[in-house]
């Protein structure tokens, strides 16, 4: 049997045409699901929220019963989420590399010359529009650990 990453890659990237015939394009499906969730909850959801919710659901299920399918689905959703980000991210989403970072004063005043600049302003880094409170690994692990502790406390 292949490893879970190979299986997830096959599901998301190699069988995408078959899945699209059955369910439609995954990104569009998650956008549609976000609209439905927004209508049902009265809170604004987006496709990123749906990917987060689906991964969280798989991890929640895994905390109750170890099943490789839960992990496979979670990894596949994460891979699909990355594809969605790559497909929908505008070219102007912000710098990725240090050399792409521009001084904020230069951005706001493109005609500013070195002679006009009397202050040394450190370059600013654009905020990542895809960051959520649980998007960094440390926060995600802490949240999952807390869920595990809650689950253990409820068993007693």
Contact between residue 44 and residue 38 where contact means Cβ atoms under 8 Å apart: yes
What does pTM read for this prediction?
0.53
pLDDT at 11: 80
Q: What's the average model confidence in pLDDT over 52-78?
A: 92
Q: What's the average model confidence in pLDDT over 91-108?
A: 58
User: What's the CA gap between 104 and 17, in Å, rounded?
Assistant: 43
How far is the CA of 5 from the CAs of 1, 40, 76, 135, 136, in angstroms? 11, 34, 8, 20, 20
Residues 5-50 have pLDDT tens digits of: 888 888 887 876 666 678 788 889 999 999 999 999 999 999 999 9
pLDDT at 103: 56
- Identify the weakest region by mean pLDDT among 2-6, 31-35, 92-96: 92-96
Residues 113-151 have pLDDT tens digits of: 655 555 565 556 555 555 555 556 677 677 777 777 766
Locate all alpha helices (DSSP H) within 42-136, ordered by sequence: 47-64, 68-88, 104-108
Contact between residue 84 and residue 55 where contact means Cβ atoms under 8 Å apart: no
Q: What's the average model confidence in pLDDT over 94-118?
A: 58
Query: Residue 15, Cβ neighbours under 10 Å: how many?
Result: 11
Residue of 46, 43, 73, 45 whose CA lies nearest to 57: 73
Task: Break the chain into its structural domains and give their ranges.
Answer: 4-89
Confidence of residue 91 (pLDDT cuts 50, 70, 90): low
């Amino acid at each position: 049997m292949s490893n879970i990453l190979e299986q997830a890659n096959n599901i998301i990237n190699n069988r995408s045409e078959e899945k699209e015939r059955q369910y439609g394009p995954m990104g569009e499906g998650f956008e549609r699901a976000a609209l439905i969730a927004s209508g049902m909850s009265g809170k604004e959801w987006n496709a990123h929220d749906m990917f987060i919710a689906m991964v969280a659901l798989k991890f929640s299920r895994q905390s109750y019963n170890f099943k490789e399918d839960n992990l496979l689905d979670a990894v596949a959703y994460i891979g699909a989420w990355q594809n969605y980000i790559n497909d929908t991210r505008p070219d102007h989403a912000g710098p990725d590399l240090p050399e792409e970072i521009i001084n904020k004063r230069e951005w706001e005043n493109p005609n500013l010359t070195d002679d006009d600049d009397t202050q040394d302003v450190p370059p600013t880094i654009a905020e990542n529009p895809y960051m959520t409170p649980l998007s960094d690994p440390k926060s995600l692990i802490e949240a999952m650990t807390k869920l595990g502790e809650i689950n253990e406390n409820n068993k007693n």
